[in-house]
Each structure stands twice: as C-alpha cells, then as structure tokens.
Structure 1
Amino acid sequence: MAGVEISGGAIRIAGKPTQIISGTIHYFRIRPEQWRDRIAKAKMMGLNAVETYVCHNLHEPKPGQFDFAGMLDLEAFLDEIHRAGLYAIVRPGPYICAEWENGGLPAWLSARPGVEFRCMNPAFLAANDRYLNTVLPLVKKHLYTAGGPVIMLQIENEYGSYGNDKAYLRHVRQICLDNGIDVPLFTSDGPDDWMLQGGTIPECFQTVNFGSRSAEAFAQSRKYRPEGPDFCMEFWNGWFDHWGEEHHTRAADDVAQELDAMLKTGASVNFFVFCGGTNFGFTAGANGNGDRPGDYAPTVTSYDYDGPLTEWGDPTPKFFACQEVIRKYRPDAPFGTPSPVRKAAYGKAELTESAPLLEALDRLAAKHESVRPPTMEACGQNFGFIHYRTKLSGPFDNRLYFPEVRDRVMAWADGSYLGTVYRNDADRFLPVRTGPAGAVLDLLVENTGRINYGPLVGRDCKGLPLGVGITWQMLSNFEVWNLELDDLSGLVYGPFSAEENRPAFHRGSFDVTETAETFLEFPGVKGVVWINGFNIGRYWNIGPGNTLYIPAPLLRKGKNEIVVLELHKLNAPSVTLTDRPRLD
C-alpha cells in the first residue's frame, strides 16, 4: 500500500494530494459507548479525519503500570475511526496541554530527584521514553501503511511555547522512527517567531495553531517553511472555561467565515475541538504562570468548548454553518443531519444517608506520618484531596499561616471550623485559639487542578509545599491521609445529616425507566459527584453554569446511586436531575 508523505507543497495519501478537514475528539473525555456516535457526527459534518491526544498521566497512573482499558482503550477508538472510513491524527505528547491535569504529564514524575521537564534530562527521559515505547507500538498497528487510519503523528506539543531544546525534539522523533512510525511526523506551535523558532525542527512537518487571522498566521509559518503546505492543527473555534469566569462562546458565522478563508487557499484544518467532552473526575487542569499574584485559574468540569457538537452530542448552529462551508470543498462527502440526543429530567433524588469525611479518613486511605506536610506528589498521589492532622500546643491566641496553598485548604481546631484559604487569596492567615490542653488541627487540602500550560507544568505540586505555621513557627509531626477518592466502598453511612462547613458524603438514589442524557443541577457550594460509582466531576457555585453532564451510558434501568461530597453546604437534602443543561 502506498503511504503518506508531505511533498510538492501538499499532503499526499497514496500519491493523491489531500486536503485534510479534521476534528478533535478526545477518547478519554467521552464514554466508550458514545465514541461511534461522535465519530459518525464528525463524518456527517463533512470531516475526513479525527484527531486525538493521548494522555500519559491516565495511561501510566503508577510508574511502569499501564492502563489501556475502558475509556483508555486507544486502539478501540482508532478502530472506530477506521470503521467510519475516516483518517486519524494522533498526538501522543508526552505533553499535551489540552486543559488537562498537568498537561498530561504524570504527577509521580514531579517527585523524581533531579527531574527537569521536556528536555534532555535523564530523569525525565527515563519516563518519557518508557511511555512512548509503550504507546507507539499500539499506534503502529493502526498506521495507514498498515491498513489503518493513522496518517500523521505529532512529536511533543506546542513545544516552542515552553522550550527550545532541539536535541530533545530530535530524541522524541527518533523514538517514533525506532518504533516503526512511517507516516509524517509533525510539530504544532503558535504562529509567532519565538514559538516557531523554538518548537520546530527541519526533519518534521510544521503546523500552526490559532483561532483567527489565518492569512497572517500562514504567512508567518511560510517564513520558516516556504514550501508549505499550510495546516492549522488547532483551529480554536470556541474556548474553554475557568471557574468564576464567563462561559465562552463564539458566533457560528465568524467561525464559518474563518474556515472558508482557510479552505479556499487549499489549507488543511483541524477543529479544536469538534466535540469537547467532559473533564470527568479530577482531570481538569488549570492555568497560571506564577508571574503575578492570584493568577491561578482552574478549568471547569465541562469541556464543551462551544464546539460544533455539544458536550452531550447535540449539533449546534456552528455545526451546520461549518457544514455548509465544507460542502464547497468536499461536495461528495456523506453529509448528514444529526438529531438531538434524547434527554430526560429524572426529577428529585432524596439524599437519605451521610458519612462525614473527617470521621471516615481511615476508611478512605491508610494513615502515615510525616515531620512536615508532604505534597501529594511526594506520596505518589495523583488526584483528589490530602488531609493533614497535628496537635497544637496551648494556651494561645494567634494565627495560622499558610505560606503556599495548592490549592484550597479548609481548617478545623478540635472540630471547630476556622475558615478556608484559597491559592489566590492575598490573606493566608486564619485566627486560631487554643486552651491549656491545646487542640487537634485538621487541614483538608484540595487539588483543584495542576497547571497544564507554561513554565509551571510539572512543578505545580499539591498540598502545603511550604508547610503551615503559627505565625512564623512552622508546625511539625503530622498524620497524613492521601484521599484519591477512587474507591468509596469503605464508607459506612448513617442517617442523613448535613452540617455547614463539615465535609460529608451524602448518598441517595433515583429510578430510571429509560436511560437518556441528563444533567445534575449543582447541589451545593462546592464538591464532587459520583453516579453509580463513576466520578462525574467537580461543581462550584461560582459558575459558570449550574449543571454537570451525566452520560446516558452511566445509567441503568431501575435504581441508580448518587453520592455527593459537599464541602460546605448543600442547597437541600435532595438533588435535581434535569433535561436542561446550563453552561452559561
């Protein structure tokens, strides 16, 4: 079979110049039962390819322990793309950004002695090479040259935004070659001089990422690759949201106009994103470069992105506006009109049982001891919360001091709530008073998302990296619980009880006669929700939006379990399941 090559200013597949019109679908953000539906709708819009990242941190949760099952079954996803008759573009990183926790890099790597990220550093390369040497043989089986759909593979990701170690880029390229990747290898960077100078190498095809002013972006790219072809690997047709900000949208006609401008010049395009999906569990990342106080901005659970297809699979006006543009350039494509997905309002589910978190620590994690509060990374913890406990002396009337909070700490003395300090708070003191016998200090710290872009990627260690003090006197001798919360089976529930600022798991159930897509209205101030044991993600009443998406495949006919971990205060002793999503 003839292969894929970049020559004569064109992408040639089996010798034929081909304009690629692709769309991003992240398999790890969508339930496997829905992959076929999302891919089919990409084809209906007129796309001829699907692009995806590969997430190192989920595929290798512990050093040397790999997971490619269920939502992480990359090969099954590529099979679905092939079955649909579409091409595939794979971007395995190891760094992916993607508004994904730690940019896809595994948290345990941050604790490696001497590690420096994304460069020719031995500690980093040991993990990087093992990962790529595990993933690439899987991808190789699905290359176009092996009869599969994969026509291109990226090395690294937007590297020019981070570094300029060309030896490292060539090292990653060589690993790909050594693993038999014989389709074009490419880089992708922003269309700025410093990015293109730092992130590209002559041996790889150069693509660029942008959302508008395509003529300027491609002209800038051509300064470094006059021969082309032009390829916008990330056409930002929408945008992502941070907690506490406005929901981002972009007008459909504006996106369609920019798309038309690119396609009529013969450029190839990848919609970033076509269908965003969801940051289930604790997988959402954050932004912040540490260059100004309070710049930390964690990403919300929804990764709808205002794309052509919604988080739950409905076509949007953007879908049809872009479809009309694509018709001009792929008139023989098998276009279609997706129907809106079936949604259901299951109503109210009573929360009938509760398990206070501070009383359940030993049921959720094994306790260990540390002189100073260790970070999550030092404990080998990937996600969730970490709890610290120590004994305060007494009597005194003073203040707790948190030199660095990553990212949000709730504090109690002898069970009495002292307050909460957030990473962006200018005031990192909490008043505390003890009697002659002293007091037990409890500190619950939440990782609200590791930074996924910029110089702090890999360095955003969670917990209390600089400890906690009584004014400047740093406290010692802590009991520690690593609360990944990936298994709640050890919880023992009692009657429903909700006490303000006393974190607790609350359990209830609801009945389903026919499964459908549904949405959970935020049940309280801040917390996490599980449906039938699956963590659907965080909520926070600072918005944007007021609902969490619950995919239909998570539901079953009959009784369904819901567990809510509320950190502060429930709205009511029940939750509401609606058919009306609200992201704004």
Structure 2
Amino acid sequence: MAELPYTSSGSLTYNNGDFILDGKPLRILSGTMHYFRVVPEYWEDRLLKMKACGLNTVETYVPWNKHEEYPGKFDFDGLLDVRKFVQVAQKVGLYVIFRPGPYICAEWDLGGLPSWLLADQNMQVRSNYKPYQEAMERFFSKLLPLVTDLQYSHGGPIIAVQVENEFGSYSDQVEHLVFVKELLIKYGIQELLLTSENIFGLKRAAFYQHALPTANFPEMGDGQKLFDLIREWNSAFPLMVMEFWPGWFDHWGQKHKGLPIPSFENCLMGILDAGGSFNMYMFHGGTNFGFMAGANFFANSTYKPDITSYDYDAPLSEAGDITPKFLRAREIIFEKVLKPSGISKLPDIPPNTPKANYGKVLCTHTMSLSHMLTYVKHDVQVPSPIPMELLKIHGGNGQNYGYILYRATFPAGKRLEFSSLPQDRAQIFINGLSVHVIDWRNPDLGIDIECNKDANTLEILVENHGRVNYVEFGLNMLNEQRKGLSGYVSIDGQKLESWNIFPLEFDKEFVNNVSQCDEWEAISLSASGSPALFRATLTIPDLPRDTFLCMKGWSKGIVFLNGFNLGRFWYIGPQQTLYVPAPLLRKGDNQILIFEQEASGMSVEFLDAPILDENDERHVEDASKEYPTGS
C-alpha cells in the first residue's frame, strides 16, 4: 500500500492548501539571513529591517564546518551563537525556519560539510556510509539540544525544520533522508519538517511521505511546474517557495550579477497571486568572511570560486542598507497580503548604519614568506605530495583552509610536470623566483624551465580557493574536494621524492604570533613581487563606523583586521573592496595585516561605499549560463 502524504504533528500544520498556526491560516513571508555571515552586533538591526519590509519569518542555515572545526571541537560563541540569533529573532517578533543541513550548499565551503571528513579516503558524504552517519549524529547531538526549547511548541519562534537540502540534485538515495529525519526527531525536533528542491531534485528524490515538499525557483514559469507537482502529490499541501532568488552570487573574474527589479517583482507577485508563501534567498546576504566562500562546478564550464562578498543583489545590501528592491518588496507585500488582512501600517524602516571614508593608509612593514614559515607549527615530511586534508596534523584530521607550501630539491632540468592538476591555484618558484601559475584558468600540467645548477629548490604555494558546494546535474564531486597537490611531480621525467610541506592555515594562533613578533622589516620603495605579509595601522579618533577596504593596486591575497579574517581580494574583480563592519574596529589604532601572493601595493584606502562590479577586462569570463534565468 502506498504511503500517505506527510502530515505535520508540530505546531505549524496545514489544511486545504493553507499553513495553520494556532488554529488560524498563516501566510509565511520569510527572508534568509545567515547569522554566520553577519557580525552579532548587527543581527537585530537586520531582523528589524526584515520586519519593516512586512516579513513575519527569518530562515537560516547552520554551517557544520564552522561549528565543529575538528571532530569533537565545537564552537557556538560570538558569530556562531545560533541560539542567541534565534532568540533575537523572537525578540523582534519573527518566526524562524531552521535549516541545520548538515549539507547546506549556500556558496559555502564544501556546502557546510567539514573538510576533515575527507581525511577518510573512503568517505561518502550525504549517504548512509557509517563514518559519515556517526559524524553527523555527533554534530546533531550537540546542535539540536541548543534550540529544541526554542521551538514554537515550547514557546519559541521555530515553526519548521528542514531535512537536508536539495538532496535530489545530488542523489536519489532517499534512505539517507530517512536517516536525517530520524536523527532530527531523536534529538528533539517536533515541529513541521520540510524539504527544499528544484524541479529536477523534486522528481528524483520524492520525500513527500516524510516531509512537506517546498520549491526553489527564480521565475514563475519554473515555479508553476513545481507547484503543480506538489499539488499532484497532495492537493492539501500549501505552496511554499523555500528559495525565491531575488538576486544571485558572483564568481571571481565575472561580472557582478543580480536580478532586475521588474523580474523580481513579477516573480514575487506571481507567488502571492498563486496563494503561495515564500522565503527570499537571500534577503540579506552578508559576507563570506575568512576562507569560507565556496565554489561551483557547472557541466558546461569548470570550477568557479565565489567572491568574498555575498551581497547577492538582495533587498538588504551586504552592509545591511535599504535598497530599491527592498522598497518595492515592501510595497508589494503590503498591498497584496498585509493590507487585505487588515494591517494598515508597517513599522518604520530603521536607518542605515553610518559609513566612513577613512582615506589612504600607508603600509609600513613587511615580512617575507620564509620568515612566515618559521611560525608554521607543523612541518611535515613526506615521500611524495599529498593534499592538505590528508596531512597527519590536528589528530590526523588534516588542514582545513588556507594555503599549503610544498618544497623539494632537484638537480639541473628543463621540464617540470604534474601528474594531476593542483587544486586550486599553484604558484611555482624555483630558487626563490616565480616562474609560473597553474589554476583552473591555466590548467598546464607541464612547463618548461631552464635550471642548469646542480642543486635547485622547488617551492609550490597552493591556495585552497574554496571547496565546491554545488555540482550541476547531480555530478558527484563532493568526496573529491581535497586541496593542494596529489600524485607526483617530476623533472625531465624523474619523480621528485622527499618533500617538506608547510600548512599555512592562518589560524588565530599563527596570525597572533606573526603580528606581535619583532621580525618585521621597514618597507622599501622597491617592494618584492614574492608572497609576503604587509602591515599597516588605521587610527580612528572617534566612534568607528562601517567602511570598505579598497584593495586596488594590490594583486591577490587575504586581509586581517585586528586579527579577524575579512576574506580574499583579487584584482580581476568584480569585487574591489572588502566590507568592514564597525564592530570589528576600535577607537584608536587598528592593525591591518595583508598576505599578498604576488605584487603588493604601498597603501590601502578606506571608502564609504563598496565597489562590487569592477573587473579587469582582461580577465572577464562569460557567466550567461550560470544564472537560472539565463540573465
């Protein structure tokens, strides 16, 4: 006998196509905001702006890889205080849709999965592979008890919880979804369960007997097909767009993308006219701080890493500012939903946070890569190169993020060859001189060299540019996202053996040690083009304000402000500034550390507005097929 469609036993239920809460119909008007992409001091401001737009719900993912840096090492403080975020949402008067994954996609490194899973060379993520199940359960056993008393049935704001995420785009093994669902229930989840899929995934991994199906789409042409399928399964199911995309994200070397307001308003009105509920993904994007930006792999192209900004062309900008899209959404929601239900006025819109132009700041000191390496805690010797995830450090759990330097010596030679493509960007140095760069745009496996000395030093600095979080058309690549070098490296056909590996993780301890040491040198006017650290000081005489760090004149690297990793910069664009929230600054001196991989500038500049759409025209790639609408 066929299983009956899912029926909620939580506070939020449904009847005749409507959500029901406390015995009354509820139209869910939701927006996505990720607590881990926004400094905690600004959570309430952003949530109040959601409320002022007419929303009644906020949705968030949970990034497993940030909460469990290594197995059993958990962090739920500060930027990661998910319990506090849910409590702030309740204070503001918003319901919460909770999406704990454990896979979240989200343009986030490995889709939120911890990279230490890949230390197991047999790992099969998003499956019922036993070690993956055990790791998942350990995480859920810590995470879920933090929020179970914040469910609506316990007086909290959480009204729904998602089972995994877009699973049908990855696999048809619905038995894994059953396992995830059972874990959620085991650790205290009582509210309505739902899934989230596009049309391909909805058909491939139907799960409507276990959770409410919801749809992901950017325009009503696609949306109507999804709505029709959901209603075929059960005419009583409410129509919910879990991911209505009001914008889109950016890749390095491509034009800044988004969704024009006419297209945005047509889709929003179409959803509401169909009687549907929605969640705008993203309503406020925030920032991919640190090394957390992920990447995509499209069937018609190749690896595409995401930029630091997650502005998303969303109704609230990366800095939380009101946009024309916000104002139009507010008008539509008020006229089509709130006014007919008897609401005569929306809350006043909170003001934007003040911005400051602090001007140019000169870099005063530098530290060479060789000096930096003396502060690397783990120097690993191996017979042949291995990726960072397989290093026997951190209890055998490998290196998560950052850079990894491989060093070997060789006699005279003319041809350097790799057995496999470095992942993701390799700078090659011979006797300290830069000779070549290999990456997804320049996938050379062999280069000509001229080394006539009897003894030479080869150094290969590989940047982990972000693990793939989404692979198009169900291609399974998540288990292969190991970064650095694999296979062998040869000179004139002779494999190089005996390697030293230096994991440049740029963790808090490393950054603190190098920032406080006395091995900095004053910058000369002829700064080197080799990788190096640079130091500058921004002095603020009064209360700090939000600002934008402009990296024009620099090449490629990362920036730390008072020890906080702001993220990557790269001259190819489209992003030319890094967002600096005021809470990261302090009155008085603020230390800036820049790791520049290639050619440095002499100063940086703090602006009062971002630059998110300026490319070096020599490096612009066509991205016309990467946005779901084709725009």
Q: TM-score, normalised by structure 1?
A: 0.96
Q: In the alignment, is residue 556 of structure 1 matched against residue 590 of structure 2?
A: no
Query: What's the counterpart of residue 355 of structure 1?
Result: 367
Distance in 2 (alpha carbons) for counterparts of 1:164 and 1:424: 33
Pair 1:38-2:46 in alignment = yes
Residue 102 of structure 1 aligns with an amino acid whose one-letter code is: L
**Alpha-carbon distance between aligned partners in 1 of 2:504 and 2:575, rounded to the nearest angstrom:** 27
For the pair 1:466 / 2:487, whether they are aligned, the reply is: yes
Structure 2 equivalent of residue 448 of structure 1: 465
* Secondary structure at the counterpart of residue 167 of structure 1: helix
Note the C-alpha offset of 1:179.
Answer: 1.5
CA distance in structure 2 between the partners assigned to 1:433 and 1:365 by the alignment: 34
CA–CA separation in structure 1 for the residues paired with 2:198 and 2:234: 14
CA RMSD between the two structures: 1.7
Preserved CA contact (<8 Å) 1:526 1:539: yes
What one-letter code is carried by the residue in structure 2 that aligns with 1:423? W
Deviations 1:255-312 (A, max 9, x none): 12211121132211000000000000100000115x56x6010000000000000000
Summarize the alignment of residues 382-421 of structure 1 with structure 2, pairs less than 5 Å apart. Answer: 382-393=400-411, 395-401=412-418, 403-421=420-438
Match of 2:567 in 1: 537
Cα separation, 1, equivalents of 2:115 and 2:171 = 20
Q: Aligned partners of 2:267 and 2:310: how far apart in 1? A: 22
CA drift of 1:396 comes to 2.5
Matched, 1:168 2:176: yes
Task: Return closer, same or farther for 1:195/1:266 CA change in 2, 3 Å cut-off.
Answer: closer
Could you say if the C-alpha distance between residues 28 and 471 of structure 1 is closer, same or farther in structure 2, counting changes exceeding 3 Å?
farther
Runs of 4 or more consecutive aligned structure 1 residues displaced over 6 Å after TM superposition: none
Q: CA deviation at 1:515?
A: 0.9
2:268 is matched with: 259
Q: Partners of 2:319 and 2:488 in 1: how far apart?
A: 42
How far apart are residue 472 of structure 1 and its match? 4.0
Residue pair 1:352, 1:506 contacting (<8 A) in 2 also: yes
**Mean Cα displacement is larger for which, 405-414 or 154-163?**
405-414
Q: Distance in 2 between matches of 1:500 and 1:407?
A: 24
2:602: which partner in 1?
573
Cα distance in 2 for partners of 1:438, 1:195 equals 59
Residue 113 of structure 1, CA deviation: 4.2
State the match for 2:539 in structure 1. Answer: 511
Whether 1:215 and 2:224 are equivalent positions in the alignment is yes
The answer to whether structure 1 residue 337 and structure 2 residue 349 are counterparts is yes
Q: Which residue number corresponds to residue 307 of structure 2?
A: 300
Cα distance, 1:2 vs structure 2: 8.5
Task: Please tell me whether the aligned partners of residues 29 and 55 of structure 2 are also in contact (alpha carbons under 8 angstroms).
Answer: yes
2:399 alignment partner, one of 359, 362, 381: 381
Query: Which residue type is aligned with residue 463 of structure 1?
Result: G
What whole-Å deviation, never above 9, does each CA across 1:391-429 have from its counterpart, x for those lacking one?
Answer: 112x22223435211000111111122111113324232
Kindly tell me: are residues 295 and 14 of structure 1, through their superposed partners in 2, closer, same or farther at Cα, counting changes over 3 Å? same
Contact 2:354 2:545 in 1 (8 A): yes
Q: Secondary structure at the match of 2:199?
A: coil
Tell me if 1:109 matches 2:135: no
- State the shift of 1:152 in Å: 0.2
Distance 1:190 1:226 in 2: 19
Shift of 1:201: 4.0
Counterpart residue type for residue 204 of structure 2: Q
CA distance in 1, matches of 2:125, 2:109: 15
Amino acid at match of 1:156: E
Q: What letter corresponds to residue 279 of structure 2 in structure 1?
A: N
> Taking every aligned residue pair, what percent have the same amino acid on both sides?
38
Partner of 1:368: 380
| Alignment partner of 1:476 out of 494, 497, 517 | 497
**Distance in 1 between the 2:439 and 2:122 partners?**
29
* Matching residue within 276, 283, 300 for 1:274: 283
Q: CA contact under 8 A between 2:40 and 2:78: conserved in structure 1?
A: yes
1:191 to 181, 194, 199: 199
Contact kept, 8 Å, 1:94 with 1:105, in 2: the verdict is yes
Asked if the contact 1:364/1:490 (under 8 Å) is kept, the reply is no
CA distance in 2, matches of 1:4, 1:139: 17
- Judge conservation of contact 2:386–2:487 (CA < 8 Å) in 1: no
Q: Check 1:432–1:151 CA distance in 2 against 1; reply closer, same or farther (3 A cut).
A: same
Instruction: Report which stretch shifted further, 518-527 or 198-207.
Output: 198-207
Distance 1:546 1:436, change over 3 A: closer
Report Cα offsets for 1:91-118 as digits up to 9, x if no partner: 0001000000000000000111422111
Task: Give, as a single letter, the amino acid of the residue that structure 2 aligns with 1:451.
Answer: V
1:115/1:199 Cα in 2 relative to 1: closer, same or farther (>3 Å)?
Answer: farther
1:224 Cα deviation after fit: 3.1
What CA distance in whole angstroms lies between the structure 1 residues aligned with 2:380 and 2:485?
16
When the two structures are superposed, what TM-score results if normalisation uses the length of structure 2?
A: 0.89
Distance of 2:416 and 2:99 partners within structure 1: 49
Q: Does 1:224 align with 2:233?
A: yes
State whether residues 404 and 466 of structure 1, in contact with CA within 8 Å, keep that contact through their aligned partners in structure 2.
no
List runs of 5+ in structure 1 lacking aligned partners.
Answer: none
Q: Which runs of 5+ in 2 are unaligned?
A: 1-8, 392-397, 614-631
Contact 1:114 1:123 in 2 (8 A): no
* Structure 2 partner of 1:495: 522
Give deviations 1:224-274, integer Å, cap 9, x for gaps: 343221000000010000000110122223212211121132211000000
Residue 14 of structure 1 and its aligned partner are, at CA, apart by: 1.4
**Hey, what's the Cα distance between the residues in 1 that align with 2:124 and 2:350?**
47
What letter matches 1:489 in structure 2? Answer: N
Residue in structure 1 matched with residue 255 of structure 2 by the alignment: 246
In 1, Cα distance between equivalents of 2:166 and 2:303: 21
In the comparison of the two structures, how many residue pairs are matched?
579
Amino acid paired to 1:345: N
CA distance in 1, matches of 2:196, 2:13: 17
Distance 1:403 1:222 in 2: 48
Q: 2: distance between equivalents of 1:65 and 1:9?
A: 44
Deviation at 1:566, TM superposition (A): 0.8
Cα distance in 1 for partners of 2:432, 2:408 equals: 13
* Contact 1:262-1:268 at 8 Å conserved across structures: yes
Look up the equivalent residue of 1:166 and give its one-letter code.
V
Contact 2:96 2:157 in 1 (8 A): yes
1:425 partnered with 2:445: no
2:414 aligns to what SS in structure 1? strand
Q: CA deviation at 1:467?
A: 3.2
